[in-house]
Chains A and B, each alone.
Chain A
């Protein structure tokens, strides 16, 4: 079993819909949680960064962390075709040299 599990998708939604993504993890020692967006044949780019449990909002993006359930989520409001990409969750321990453990990624397709 992988440390971080993520549904590979693809997840297809109409433009303007809310995209809901999530990851589960097994190691309760993870403290920092991130979401990266990766376009085809490009490197990942950081979208959201949260520490421990709670919510964080940035524009159309909301990240949630529930450490008790070992579950993190990313919501994208008013989705646009330009949001079509693979979304990777990532997490790390508090003192791990910033080394990240990634989920497998969820491919999202927003249809105009």
Chain B
């Protein structure tokens, strides 16, 4: 399967613990995005990378959140000192850059990593 993969699919943690999610994008995609989705809501943008550079961060991304894409391939999203309000689905997506060859720049999403903070 060459789609976007995320790990773990579900994480249950206690408040105050740190958690890390991993995303492996489609191999030829140079852009990678993180979104957060709570129950009954649409996905909300958190941050995105072009290759290894983090180009934009939402104000939703507090200082407890950090994302990396060290070699322009996979990415990690770490949440420190988790709070119950962090409980959500964390979605990763990837795309070719704007007007990439044969591409419309559309985002392809993974299955998501569901976080439950007790």
A contact set with B: CB distance below 8 Å: 4, 6, 8, 32, 34, 36, 41-46, 49, 88, 90, 95, 97-105
Contacts and interface: CB of A to CB of B under 8 A. Distances in A.
Contacts of B43: 44, 88, 100, 102
Given A43-B112, A99-B56, A49 B104 contact: yes
A99 B48 CA distance: 8
B95 A98 contact: yes
Given A42-B111, A45-B109, A95 B98 contact: yes
Contact of B106 (A4, A8, A34, A101): A34
B45 interface: yes
Nearest to B40: A8
B107 A100 contact: yes
B33 A43 contact: no
Interface of B: 4, 31, 33, 40-45, 48, 50, 55-56, 91, 93, 95, 97-98, 104-112, 114
Contacts of B95: 98
A98 B42 contact: no
Given A98-B98, A100-B45, A49 B40 contact: no
Given A43-B109, A43-B110, A98-B31, A103 B42 contact: yes
A98 B105 contact: yes
Contacts of B31: 97-98
